[in-house]
Structure 1
């Protein structure tokens, strides 16, 4: 798949859940706002607080699918989804309901003339070796196949345990959730990209790296008290912050 766009928007770590109606409302407001000039919307993981499988529907998941489908249909926006560490069980069936295309972590795209490397960001957190081992196992196609067909009660229990463990680990050592310089350096050198865009760390910022002139990294923020979206204007990454309670785009 060749991805080449002039105007694109980037979001991640929205963590949609019925327990945060304010974030849900802000997301729908954002989707309604997306300018008609936008060619593509990239959702780079942790779209939902957790995803137990495409066979477990909810009113929220149906509303989200309808909103994204309308965006694709009415404004001809191409929508792309990349799995995060919370919603890695989201599959092709739900993607089709949302009119969005699945992207592998590490996909390259050309945006406004820049070569852009897209990632959720958890693969860059290489200091957390136990998580990287777990990720490799849980993302294996055979394991995912079995997980998606396991009893729903088991999946709900597993999701609760994983969230609790993640919270505990972060409280014990917050640095584990940040990326490592070695992982970023390796990615720039291997991909020869101009810009890396990722989420996961909830540390919204734009970083300048000196591996070659104008190699930049845009970290998308999470949606909590404020929300974030990224864009590229005149070949420069831009981060925009807005209030979740009273979003103004």
Structure 2
């Protein structure tokens, strides 16, 4: 896709699921992708897999619960690849537990990763884009859980973290609009997606995820990738501010 060829993209949560699928597509289409994640071995395996593609993948180990890791990742990107032009804040976590009974430590991890890490990332990205006169694009991956109460009572503060992200993204869009900035920022909210996040969060087992009942419909990571790529393909004046992608029949 010509609109991202040679673009410098910072992508969080790139070691698995939606992030890994996005990294593969972006690099194959010619982008220079700096992929952030905690699992260094997975990042290096992805880098090896993508050798020889039109673009390039740069692994960058970072713990998004640590502000210094996020800031260092941006500095490394500017120093070694160039100023970021596109940022996709995709990383997210779920921790199993009810609101009245769950672990405060787990609640804090969810809020820090799903919300505060994005706030820090957006602030740093915008400062870099403004300093280098880049009309950039930021896409924050949210969730349909940001838009309506979920059926599960085990998601605790996950919906709250995504709702906060949704409102934050719109407020930041308005702030940039008032400044006459040409930096675009969007919120993209997928419904249920078959990824490791639910396994890591203790909501389902790997076996269950692979053998879901036929009446339970979930998206694939590639479904989300197609939507993100469409958003990135639009001309500068076309701005999708919010996009919701649900499996057919979700919530019925």
Q: Shorter chain as normaliser: what TM range?
A: 0.3 to 0.5
With the length of structure 2 as denominator, give the TM-score of the two structures.
Answer: 0.37
Q: Determine which structure has the larger strand proportion and give its number.
A: 1
RCO comparison, higher one (Cα < 8 Å, 6+): 1
